[in-house]
Structure 1
């Protein structure tokens, strides 16, 4: 513990020179970053994680890496007055180091549901003292959600997380892709387990999805639709036979930010189209 403290000490001293009136925010969540921008705080964001890709202007901010592999030093070096992170996404040791450095770290809960998005927005607005603007955004979000008329389409959808043909897993229950598939009026083709597990040809054929869903980056990593069809078992499913493979931007599909209504509608159209 003492060794960690002395390593961070030079960076801690940098924080003492920042005026308390100056807002310097580091966001470690794409959904939170999107909300901060909608709340009118984009100019106060000084650093973001790699999932913070919307709006596109966030790409000009300093990047601190992926929220699950971030170092405290990289955050502290930006001299933030506020760091926002989602619970369970920031390593406990990094949280401890930030708190030792007297960084104002606010860890919030995120649930993958419309109600979870509402709660996250309210929490972020409260932390940043933008509750009036937050109420306006919440009203617009609720209206967009209410306007969705998504009927059950009877399709079984399989979500595949791919990082190349040699690294592919499928989504069970309790994850954001599973919830999105359900919100879009479809059924998850993989049930009986939570989280992710390696893709197997046997399980794939047994699940027999009508549609296979990937992130855009994942589909590219396996060589597009043609590459995916070469994966053992894919061609033996309804999705493979009909070449019904769809993809969406990862953060848009699974982020559960304020664009959730648009993401649900787009996914529904891709599934049924």
Structure 2
């Protein structure tokens, strides 16, 4: 009798384990997901969960097919109404994307929150990829993504400078009325460093309004903008009209470079490609 009871117990344990695995698989593929972060959205799409995504924030621009998904606003200014209207089972993004009051509203509506932290480094990106894939039940896809990322990072490393790091100033522009420069401990500074450059400004974190005096004092070798930011200024000619630009080394040499914003700052699966592109532009 004891042998029979032990065998039955073992059978029940195995059955429960199998059911749990199946449940995780069903949850990963059948639940409706709203992603409020471009990097997390990109990872979800890369691990095969794009069909489950019913809504995204405006930073979710890659792959391009995500642009056709319903929008819930910008991750810096989300409201519960837009998210709840899509009736998701899960809302995911970075912990910095969801304010406490919004988290309470979503939880009260029975919506599960799956939030991650992001470290602005190559290792941090690998960690995020694995965490997202593990949380949504697709660990094998994560390892394939990490393998591709490692190859891209190795290729990018061959392009980065080891000496003579150019001073790069990043300007966030939305027309001449909104112009900010990226300080220390920002995604832009980290990317500039990874690509073999150095931030032209020091002494403050986050972003500060651009002034002609600060621009001249920084005297960058290169000025970097998002592609959309350059367009908002009317192109390179518009940037040169900004007071102080033509007094810098970058302005005199017309060394202005642009990149897609999400690629440049996402620290996602395309990090190696982003570093390589920026490094190549800094060298040219």
1:146 matches 2:154 = yes
**TM-aligned CA deviation for residue 243 of structure 1:** 0.7
Shifted more, 139-148 versus 58-67: the winner is 139-148
1:146 Cα offset (Å): 2.5
Specify the alignment match of 1:11 in structure 2: none
Match of 2:274 among 249, 263, 267: 263
Following superposition, the deviation at residue 240 of structure 1 comes to 0.3
The match for 1:64 is 72
Within the candidate set 222, 227, 230, 1:216 is matched to: 227
Match of 1:110 in 2: 118
TM-score, normalised to structure 1, is 0.90
Structure 1 spans left out of the alignment, 5+ residues: 1-18
Unaligned runs of 5+ in 2: 1-25
Structure 2 residue 63 is matched with structure 1 residue 91: no
1:8 equivalent in structure 2: none
Offset at residue 132 of structure 1 (A): 1.6
Q: Which residue pairs with 2:213 in the alignment?
A: 202
CA deviations on 1:149-202 (whole Å, 9 max, x unpaired) are 222352100000111112111111111111010000001001111111111111
Partner deviation per Cα, 1:82-111 (whole Å, 9 max, x = no partner): 111112122221111111111011111012
Q: Name 1:134's counterpart in structure 2.
A: 142
Which residue of 1 is the match for residue 127 of structure 2?
A: 119
Name the TM-score, length of structure 2 as normaliser.
0.87
* Count, aligned residues: 255
The structural deviation recorded for 1:237 is: 0.2
Q: State how far apart, in whole Å, the 1-side matches of 2:235 and 2:133 are.
A: 40
**Among 147, 170, 174, the residue aligned to 1:163:** 174
Contact 1:22 1:81 in 2 (8 A): no
Choose the corresponding residue for 1:23, options 8, 31, 36: 31
Q: What's the CA shift string for 1:31-82, capped at 9, x where partnerless?
A: 1111111101111111111011111111111111111111112112211121
Larger Rg: 2
- From 226, 241, 244, the equivalent of 2:252 is 241
Specify the alignment match of 1:74 in structure 2: 82
Shift of 1:143: 2.5
Q: Is the 8 A contact 1:39 1:130 kept in 2?
A: yes
Q: Distance in 2 between matches of 1:147 and 1:173?
A: 26
Report the equivalent of 1:13: none
CA contact 1:68–1:91 (8 Å) conserved in 2: no
Tell me whether 1:101 sits opposite 2:112 in the alignment.
no
